[in-house]
């Protein structure tokens, strides 16, 4: 299919890097992101914010904007958006490439407790864990509401928002910060809050990996939430690989 315009589904740092490369290469493209984060890096491309309205809404958008190729560079846990992109592109015959950074793998010294989803992560909180670092963002905090009476949570989010969190205010301390985070700073944070367990999505990448290294250094267990399972799709790992794929589509 001849390339007319690329839709870049963003929301990650790698997506931002790819947006810059597309702009510099003069490739017509639109950058789309969910808008859940208030403070973010501004891409050089034209942008749209918000959802599409499911598979049918995305298909309509792809037609209206004459999108010829889609690059899915959303967060590895943005499963619904990725699933919608797979279905819409398959229906319209539009080439789709997923740019997904490799998942982390346990290293010697890690004390990982692997779980399939956030509900299972909440159930894995043992009574001995008193101060838990929930490094999962805002969207899935409700899974831990039932644990608020017996555990204290340290929450780190990338921006301050006005919405009420689904946890009792007395059950958590909120930290607003954006990665990348240095190892020494992560060790200091865990020690300062006497953290004895971390809940983390297996997001991959370098920006937030220091907390995993800090947990290893301090021998703190990590409840590691596996990535959602998606249908098979063409994949790459880096912005340059995505650019190479697009170059081959011309």
Domain shared by 217 and 243, yes or no:
no
Task: Check residue 137 and give its pLDDT.
Answer: 84
pTM of the model: 0.86
pLDDT of 40 reads 59
pLDDT band at 162 (very low <50, low <70, confident <90, very high): low
pLDDT of 53-107, one tens digit each? 999 999 999 999 999 999 999 999 999 999 999 999 999 999 999 999 899 999 9
| Predicted pLDDT of residue 23 | 95
> Could you report the per-residue pLDDT of 3-55, keeping only the tens digit for each?
789 999 998 889 999 999 999 999 999 999 886 554 456 788 999 998 999 99
Q: pLDDT averaged over the chain? A: 92
Q: What's the rounded Cα separation, in Å, for the pair 16 and 91?
A: 27
State whether 86 and 12 are in the same domain: yes
Edge-to-edge strand list for the sheet holding 197-201? 112-115, 222-225, 197-201, 131-135, 152-157, 172-176
**In the chain, how many domains are there?**
2
Q: Specify the CATH number for the domain of residue 194.
A: 3.40.50.720
CB proximity list for 186: less than 8 A, separation 6 or greater: 210, 211, 213, 214
- Is 153 inside a domain boundary? yes
Say if 76 falls within a structural domain. Answer: yes
93, 190: one domain:
no
Strand arrangement of the beta sheet that strand 6-9 belongs to: 47-49, 29-33, 6-9, 69-72, 96-99, 235-236
Contact 101, 14 (CB under 8 A): yes
In a domain, 107, yes or no: no
Q: Are residues 68 and 150 both part of a single domain? A: no
Question: Does residue 117 lie in a domain region?
Answer: yes
Please enumerate in sequence order all residues whose Cβ is within 8 A of that of 68, keeping only pairs 6 or more positions apart, or say none. Answer: 1, 2, 3, 4, 5, 6, 94, 95
State whether 220 and 116 are in the same domain: yes
What is the spatial distance between Cα 57 and Cα 38, in angstroms, rounded to a whole number?
24
Q: In the structure, what pLDDT confidence band is assigned to residue 1 with cuts at 50, 70 and 90?
A: low
**99: three-class secondary structure by DSSP:** strand
Is the residue at 70 inside a domain?
A: yes
Q: In this model, does residue 142 exceed pLDDT 70?
A: yes
Distance CA 201, CA 194 (A): 21
Can you tell me which residue has the tokens 């997923």?
98
235 and 221 in one domain? no
Nearest to 98 by CA among 238, 229, 226: 238
Specify the pLDDT at position 205: 87
User: Does residue 73 lie in a domain region?
Assistant: yes
Q: Does the residue 93 lie in any domain?
A: yes
On the CB side of 130, CA atoms within 13 Å amount to 2
What's the pLDDT score for residue 38? 44
User: Which class for 201: exposed (0-12), middle (13-18), buried (19 or more C-beta within 10 A)?
Assistant: buried
| Contact of 130 with 196, CB cutoff 8 Å | yes
Residues 183 and 143 in one domain: yes
Domain range spanning residue 167?
112-225
Q: 142 with 127, same domain? A: yes
Same domain, yes or no: 120 and 78: no
Are 201 and 244 part of one and the same domain?
no
Does some domain include residue 54?
Answer: yes
Assign 207 a pLDDT band (cuts: 50, 70, 90). confident
Please indicate, yes or no, whether residues 90 and 172 belong to a single structural domain of this protein: no
pLDDT at position 39: 42
* 88 and 161 co-located in one domain: no
């Amino acid at each position: 299919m001849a390339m007319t315009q690329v839709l870049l589904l963003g929301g990650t740092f790698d997506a931002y890097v790819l947006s810059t490369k597309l702009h510099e290469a003069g490739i017509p493209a639109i950058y789309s992101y969910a808008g859940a984060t208030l403070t973010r890096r501004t891409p050089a491309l034209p942008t749209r914010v918000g959802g599409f309205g499911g598979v049918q809404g995305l298909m309509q958008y792809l037609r209206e904007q004459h999108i010829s190729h889609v690059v899915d560079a959303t967060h590895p846990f943005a499963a619904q958006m990725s699933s919608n992109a797979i279905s819409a592109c398959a229906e319209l015959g539009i080439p789709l490439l997923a740019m997904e950074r490799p998942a982390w793998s346990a290293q010697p010294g890690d004390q990982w407790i692997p779980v399939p989803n956030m509900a299972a992560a909440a159930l894995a909180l043992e009574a001995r864990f008193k101060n838990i670092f929930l490094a999962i963002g805002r969207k899935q905090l409700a899974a831990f509401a039932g644990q608020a009476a017996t555990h204290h949570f340290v929450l780190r989010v990338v921006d301050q928002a006005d919405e009420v969190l689904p946890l009792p205010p007395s059950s958590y301390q909120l930290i607003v910060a954006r990665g990348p985070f240095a190892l020494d700073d992560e060790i200091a944070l865990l020690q300062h809050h006497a953290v004895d367990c971390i809940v983390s999505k297996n997001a991959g990448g370098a920006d937030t990996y220091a907390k995993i290294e800090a947990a290893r250094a301090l021998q703190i267990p990590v409840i590691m939430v596996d990535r959602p399972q998606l249908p098979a799709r063409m994949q790459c790992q880096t912005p340059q690989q995505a650019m190479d794929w697009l170059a081959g589509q011309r």
